[in-house]
Amino acid sequence: MNKTSPESSTCNTEQEVKEVKMKKKKTEIIEDLEKEKSEFKDKWLRTLAEFENYRKNSHKEKQDWIKYANEKVFLEFCDVLDNFERALSTDVNSENYSSYIKGVEMIFQQMNSIFKKNDVIKIDALGKEFDPNYHEAWSSIPALEPENIIVAIVQNGYMLGEKVIRASRVAVSNGEKPE
């Protein structure tokens, strides 16, 4: 027969109580960790959603900025367009011809003023050496100038600050003398 002493039974019970307490404590720790994990996941998902909203809003703001960045310049061009419309609606005759020409010159000056104010400058090309960074050769022709010197401008080029926004279209000397 297996006799258990009362002491050993108390030992087993105490040990069982300790094990139960330990299991309970482990369960509580696991529950706490699960709760903490859930909170972190919720915070992460909210942060992710906030970042996505921020990205969308930033993109929209950038698109709006691009769309409306030149509004002031276009408004100035509206004035130029209005002046051209007035000039085109004028009946030109020998009596008002010089006034008409003066008006068109004023519109030209108005346009140049807008360009200058917005840091748009015409590329000075005539008589200069051909540079593919600023010029686009449309033809090579006989001329008195040495080879690769620009002898005619087909279309003016322009720069916005230091950036070429349209290269000058030019004719360059091919080094042969004209006959």
Integer Cα distance of 119 and 38 in angstroms = 57
**Side-chain half-sphere exposure of 47, counting CA atoms within 13 A:** 6
Q: Mean pLDDT, to the nearest integer, of 84-104?
A: 93
pTM of the model: 0.63
Sheet containing 168-173, strands listed edge to edge, beginning at the edge strand earlier in sequence: 135-141, 168-173, 150-155
Helix-helix angle 97-117:71-88, to 10 degrees: 170
Quick check: 67 pLDDT over 80?
A: yes
> CATH no. for residue 173?
2.30.22.10
Among residues 158, 154, 155, 152, the alpha carbon closest in space to that of 111 is found at 158
Q: If you search the block for the tokens 């006799």, which residue do you land on?
A: 3
Q: If you search the block for the tokens 């992710």, which residue do you land on?
A: 48
Residue 166 lies in a domain: yes
The one-character DSSP state at 90 is S
Q: What is the pLDDT of residue 69?
A: 84
Identify residue 145 by its one-letter amino acid code.
E
Q: If you search the block for the tokens 């000056």, which residue do you land on?
A: 109
Residue 149 lies in a domain: yes
Residue 111 lies in a domain: no
Q: Where residue 21 falls among pLDDT bands split at 50, 70, 90?
A: confident
Expressed as residue numbers, the domain containing 167 is 119-179
Residue 70 lies in a domain: no
Report CA 37 to chain centroid distance, whole Å: 41
Residues whose CB falls within 8 Å of the CB of residue 135, separated by 6 or more in sequence, listed in order = 123, 125, 150, 157, 167, 168, 169, 170
The structural domain count of the chain equals 1
Residue 62 lies in a domain: no
Q: Where residue 6 falls among pLDDT bands split at 50, 70, 90?
A: low
Quick check: 26 pLDDT over 70?
A: yes
Q: Where residue 114 falls among pLDDT bands split at 50, 70, 90?
A: very high
